[in-house]
Chain A
Amino acid sequence: MSLLSKFEAIAKTRAELGEADPSKVVIEKILSPTEAMISGRHTILAGTNNYLGLTFDPECIRAGQEALAEAGTGTTGSRMANGNYAGHLALEQELADYYGYPHAMVFSTGYSANLGTMLALLGPEDAVLLDADAHASLYDGAAMSPASVYRFKHNDPESLDKRLTRLKEKASQALVVIEGIYSVIGDRAPLAEFVEVKNRHGALLLVDEAHSLGVLGATGRGLVEEAGMLDEVDFVVGTFSKSLASTGGFCVSRHEELALFRYASRPYVFTASPCPSVIATTRCALRQLRAHPELKDRLWHNAERLYAALKGRNLPIGPEMSTVVAVMVDEKSRAVSAWHKLLQSGVYCNLMLPPSAPGGGCLLRFSMSAAHSDEQIDQIVAAVAKLDL
């Protein structure tokens, strides 16, 4: 045994996948928000989380090009050491205004937004309770913190209630962590019930809206808006890499103390800040999101079309109609084969294998975009219908 021995198992797993390995997919040329050339084949992209289809928005592209010309290619360091660009501050103000909160904080990735928020907030006397299906970045944020980490059953407020009760007085120093829409099978959290439980115990609640920003709520502010809980939730984190078609992440809060988080957040302090073009395209995409609610409507039209068509064929899909649609496959080899066949037939989706998929199973994950056409969705359905599932 050596430090490197652990890679033998990884090498074996990758070798077993052979050519049917999602990590080997090369997008040779990106043609539009929903199309690319992969292995020389025209392919429909149905696994990119490009919910509003803004990656080729002309105004966003122009904003990015202008920022490149005016402010250069990168910031070359952290905001704490190298200074803030005006764009960083403007984006934070625009996010705070959007949510109606006093403060926002911008991070270089969605992953670091979760780490940075949780590491600033959690101390050794605190507790953090994670939904069992929470994203890896939330687990990592909890694990890297000095707080005691617990887990409750997925989307189960009663399970949370029991665990907060067992924590006794420590419950008032607990952070509860959930997501708006869960990325694996597209189900959403029963937010009002979670809020009632956390308020009763005096805990705080963080909601990761990575997959629900721009997707839920009358003005796209996610599940917190849809559920009418903007005044009840304590922290909202999100990413720029999905609906906002860029990279980066953020935290917004109704608590004034968020303004001080940046002085206590190592993932914020010790990371280079987002480059000017990324900030510019993100700001533009946020404006587009707010100005064009029809994008969200089109996204849901597409989600309904895909979900209804797959359900109509009696395929084993997730329990809830959502912009993320999961097709369950019970056996790994069949899941891998199905994913590869789809790719060969010109449809790119995500292959999820244990432990990423819930219940120890496997699934094919499709994420819809406002930019998908009805014809593309019909092609996706036709390709899935040919699989042996």
Chain B
Amino acid sequence: MSNYEPELMDLLRQALDQPLPDLKADTDLIDELSLESIQVMDFIAEVEDHYDIIIEVDRLATVRTITDMSALVAEIM
């Protein structure tokens, strides 16, 4: 587990205002959590503001899990 995963899971819970007890780093946000793509985009906006980064929209096509997101944040940071 990379450094960003616990923080990203908390950010997702905050963004959705849900406890998400079954959320794991490899949970598929769309297939398993049934998030709409627009909810994932809103989550990513929170991630950008939290880490003071900016993420290109086309990079998001590869983000399906918290692990994916963590890797992307690590690359940009």
Contact = CB atoms under 8 A, between A and B. Distances in A.
Does chain A bind chain B? yes
Interface of A: 130, 132, 142-143, 148-153, 159, 162-163, 166-167, 354-355, 358-360
A166 B45 contact: no
Contacts of A159: 45, 49
Given A150-B56, A152-B45, A360-B39, 9 more contacts: A130-B57, A142-B57, A149-B58, A150-B57, A153-B42, A166-B53, A167-B54, A355-B38, A360-B38
Pick the most buried of B41, B48, B52, B58: most chain A CB atoms within 10 A of its CB: B48
Main secondary structure of the interface of B (DSSP, over half): helix
A163 B54 contact: yes
B37 interface: yes
Contact of A149 (B42, B49, B56): B56
A148 B49 CA distance: 18
B10 interface: no
A258 B58 CA distance: 28
Interface size class of B (residues with CB under 8 A): 10 to 19
B35 interface: yes
Nearest to B48: A163
The 3 A-B residue pairs with the shortest CB-CB distance in the complex, in nearest-first order = A360-B36, A166-B54, A354-B36
29 contacts: A132-B42, A132-B45, A142-B57, A143-B57, A148-B56, A149-B56, A149-B58, A150-B55, A150-B57, A151-B45, A151-B57, A152-B45, A153-B42, A159-B45, A162-B48, A163-B54, A166-B48, A166-B53, A166-B54, A167-B54, A354-B36, A355-B36, A355-B37, A355-B38, A358-B38, A359-B39, A360-B35, A360-B36, A360-B38
Contacts of B55: 150
Contacts of B37: 355
Contacts, number: 46
B39 A166 contact: no
B49 A162 contact: yes
A148 B41 CA distance: 16
Contacts of A359: 38-39
Nearest to A132: B41
A153 B58 CA distance: 17
A166 B51 CA distance: 11
Pick the most buried of A162, A167, A355, A360: most chain B CB atoms within 10 A of its CB: A360
A166 B50 CA distance: 13
Contact of A153 (B35, B45, B56, B57): B45
A3 B38 CA distance: 25
Nearest to A356: B38
B52 A166 contact: yes
